[in-house]
């Protein structure tokens, strides 16, 4: 029995992961596309006058089975893939692309959609229905519905190729990340490394049959502590270069040619759809609207950031020379000497914080914040179906014990999981035809420091902020109260979706919140006020570096996608020219170099990496709405944020939603001030 072909017989109707096998995926994809085609045919062959109900709403509710299997398959593939899953993805990706194009480019269907759209002023639609109508029509136009037949065929071919390129880019990146191992046999090579980092490397070596050695990988919880603390400069260089040269080694996993194909295919698609470049096409559907608006924001942040970074570099070089170094600093030295300067300047070592940042306490701290802001209750569920044994599952209820949703948490790196951290859904929120409010099943997937020896998982503060960030996305999905799935929850523009995630990060660093969850894993002692004070004083440390590496990546993304000429580009040379143009110093590399820049090429953030900065303008201003009251848990502000932002999805223009909450346009000053870039 294929579990997708019936209602899930599971608690809260979560996917029955333990009953699903690879064959079920293929069968359901095929059946799901067949069923949706029949549903579309029902719309186009309907002889009645097109109405919102028989066209727009019916189209919105079509494809339920296909959506059901897609959300399970692609989410599991990202978090726990294998060769069979990869093969299915490669087989099914072009078929889904063809299927979606057959809908978007169906002339009979578009005529009915257009008929309803052209008469929208005569319809008595509620605002959310009007938004769905506008978005549906807009998506058809952006999908090529107005094109001539031969251009539609070109577009179909391009879409199929792009779908396969995304899979190949990610597959190469995962393989290249897993391929590198720094294996140390001499204990002297561990000089400077914290005890937990050494123990983790030893445990990994044992698990791979190399007891007595230490293995370091390109997973961030491994390489980042290594370059931060290792006293062996040649080894720091080795692992750092391996990290930033991923998929750039002229081997089977090289992504340079794939990037070239991305650039040219995206440019072709943009021009077919009437735009000068890919960025114009992407941003036409975002808050930023135009590339020049993005560049303007990035430049305003870049100028003070790179100035600050140069000041930081001078301090780092002085520290190195004070310790007897007779070399000019390189990029693999920055983390190491920044940590030394931080310790000297603020008497703060990041490793001092870890004992107080035990994973379960951090999670409970985020839950407490959500409870104090929105009245949410989190209950851990046992014996739930999971796609991997490390997953935890929680029931989320409102203050009146009404179900809000189900939350999956998946914390640690593994070879089958892509890097980074992300939020997704196994089911999105919507209201069914029977008027039932279907509650979401949300998943947060991370790559955090693992437990080691007899110690639990102890996080860095950066990992704490990452969890709060993804948890903010999770709340956006969980608290959605929309009628239609396609505009519910996090289905908003890229430069608005990061507002709910980034605003949650502010609470993580508040002393009042730290005292709630920062408890010593061994003694239970609350983090000392002296340590919190040091954290606060050091909060803006190294922000020139952090901001510069980020903005450099955002500009690189934009420059790739504002290309207007098709040709074969030397990817490394192009990247070099971009970074020289903006004036990035040699000692800093972009947050992501081109060949592993998944946001720009396979994660749906092409011409969108800037969105974190765009949304930071919003989140800095939005958090001020709480701070201005003198209470970071102010119930009136929290209620307004929930009702105007978190519950509303894409039911109105993003800036209108923000204005409904804040009552005024945000400025860039709070962002610069928060980062210590504004004097």
Query: Could you give the 3-state DSSP secondary structure of residue 339?
Result: helix
Query: Could you give the 3-state DSSP secondary structure of residue 608?
Result: coil
292 is catalytic: no
β-pair type (403-410, 441-445): parallel
Q: List residues bridging with 87 in a β-sheet.
A: none
Query: Which strands form 422-427's sheet, in the order they lie side by side?
Result: 377-381, 392-397, 403-410, 441-445, 422-427
Half-sphere exposure of 39 (CA within 13 A, CB side): 21
**Using an 8 Å Cβ cutoff, are 493 and 654 in contact?**
yes
CA–CA separation, 356 and 517 (whole Å): 8
Nearest to 378 by CA among 401, 411, 412, 410: 401
What is the enclosing helix (H) or strand (E) of 407? strand 403-410
Torsion of CA 376, 379, 381, 386, to 10 degrees: 40
Mutual angle of helices 83-104 and 22-44, in 10-degree steps: 0
For 466-489, letters b (16+ CB in 10 Å) and e give bbbbbbbbbbbbbbbbbbbbbbbb
CA–CA separation, 642 and 373 (whole Å): 9
Give the contacts of 603 (CB within 8 A, at least 6 positions apart).
none
Secondary structure letter of residue 650 according to DSSP = T
The CB-based long-range contact list for 118-122 (8 Å cut-off, 24+ gap) reads none
Q: State the alpha helices, DSSP H only, in 45-126.
A: 58-60, 64-79, 83-104, 107-118
CA–CA separation, 209 and 218 (whole Å): 19
Name the active-site residue from 78, 166, 463, 470. Answer: 470
Nearest to 132 by CA among 488, 437, 426, 436: 488
**Using an 8 Å Cβ cutoff, are 564 and 276 in contact?**
yes
**Using an 8 Å Cβ cutoff, are 606 and 556 in contact?**
no
Torsion of CA 376, 382, 383, 384, to 10 degrees: 20
The residues assigned a catalytic role are 470
């Amino acid at each position: 029995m294929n579990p997708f072909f019936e209602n899930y017989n599971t608690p809260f109707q979560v996917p029955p992961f333990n009953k699903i096998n690879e064959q079920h995926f293929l069968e359901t994809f095929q059946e799901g596309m067949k069923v949706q085609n029949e549903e579309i045919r029902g719309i186009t062959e309907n002889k009645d006058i097109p109405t919102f109900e028989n066209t727009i709403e019916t189209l919105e509710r079509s494809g339920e089975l296909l959506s059901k299997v897609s959300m399970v398959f692609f989410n599991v593939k990202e978090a726990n893939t294998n060769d069979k899953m990869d093969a299915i993805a490669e087989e099914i990706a072009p078929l889904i692309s063809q299927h979606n194009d057959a809908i978007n480019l169906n002339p009979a269907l578009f005529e009915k959609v257009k008929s309803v759209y052209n008469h929208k002023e005569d319809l008595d639609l509620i605002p959310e229905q009007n938004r769905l109508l506008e978005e549906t029509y807009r998506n058809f136009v952006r999908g090529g519905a107005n094109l001539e037949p031969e251009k539609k065929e070109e577009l179909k071919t391009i879409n199929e190729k792009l779908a396969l390129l995304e899979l190949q880019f990610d597959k190469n990146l995962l393989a290249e990340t897993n391929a590198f191992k720094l294996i140390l046999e001499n204990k002297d090579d561990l000089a400077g490394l914290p005890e937990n980092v050494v123990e983790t490397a030893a445990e990994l070596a044992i698990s791979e049959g190399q007891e007595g050695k230490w293995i370091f990988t390109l997973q961030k919880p491994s390489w980042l502590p290594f370059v931060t603390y290792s006293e062996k400069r040649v080894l720091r260089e080795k692992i750092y270069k391996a990290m930033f040269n991923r998929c750039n080694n002229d081997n089977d996993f090289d992504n340079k040619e794939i990037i070239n194909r991305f650039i040219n295919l995206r440019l072709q698609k943009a021009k077919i759809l009437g735009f000068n470049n890919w960025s114009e096409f992407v941003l036409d559907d975002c808050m930023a609207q135009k590339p020049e608006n993005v560049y303007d924001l990035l430049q305003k942040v870049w100028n003070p950031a790179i100035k600050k970074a140069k000041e930081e570099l001078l301090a780092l070089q002085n520290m190195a020379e004070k310790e007897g170094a007779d070399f000019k600093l390189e990029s693999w030295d920055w983390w190491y000497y920044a940590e030394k300067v931080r310790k000297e300047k603020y008497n703060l070592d990041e490793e001092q914080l870890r004992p107080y940042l035990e994973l379960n306490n951090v999670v409970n701290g985020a839950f407490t914040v959500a409870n104090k802001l929105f009245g949410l209750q989190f209950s851990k569920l046992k014996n739930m179906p999971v796609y991997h044994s490390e997953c935890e599952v929680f029931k989320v209820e409102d203050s009146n014990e009404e179900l809000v949703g189900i939350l999956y948490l998946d914390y640690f790196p593994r070879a089958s999981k892509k890097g980074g951290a992300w939020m997704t859904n196994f089911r999105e929120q919507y209201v069914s035809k029977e008027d039932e409010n279907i509650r979401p099943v949300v998943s947060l997937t991370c790559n955090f420091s693992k437990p080691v020896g007899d110690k639990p998982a102890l996080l860095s503060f950066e990992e704490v902020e990452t969890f709060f960030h993804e948890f903010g996305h999770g709340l956006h999905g969980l608290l959605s109260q929309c009628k239609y799935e396609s505009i519910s929850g996090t289905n908003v523009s890229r430069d608005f979706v990061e507002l709910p995630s980034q605003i949650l990060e502010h609470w993580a660093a508040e002393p009042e919140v730290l005292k709630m969850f920062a408890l010593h894993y061994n003694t239970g002692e609350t983090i000392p006020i002296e340590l919190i004070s040091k954290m606060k004083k050091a909060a803006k440390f190294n922000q020139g570096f952090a901001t510069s590496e980020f903005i450099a990546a955002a500009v690189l993304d934009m420059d790739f996608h504002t290309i207007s000429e098709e040709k074969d580009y030397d990817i490394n040379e192009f990247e070099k020219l971009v970074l020289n143009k903006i004036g990035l110093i040699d000692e800093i590399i972009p947050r992501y170099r081109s060949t592993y820049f998944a946001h720009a090429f396979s994660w749906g953030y092409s011409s969108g990496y800037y969105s974190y900065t765009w949304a930071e303008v919003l989140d800095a201003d939005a958090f001020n709405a709480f701070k201005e009251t003198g209470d970071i848990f102010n119930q009136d502000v929290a209620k307004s944020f929930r009702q105007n932002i978190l519950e509303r999805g894409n039911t109105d223009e993003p800036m209108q939603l923000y204005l409904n909450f804040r009552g005024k346009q945000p400025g860039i000053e709070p962002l610069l001030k928060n980062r210590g870039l504004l004097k």
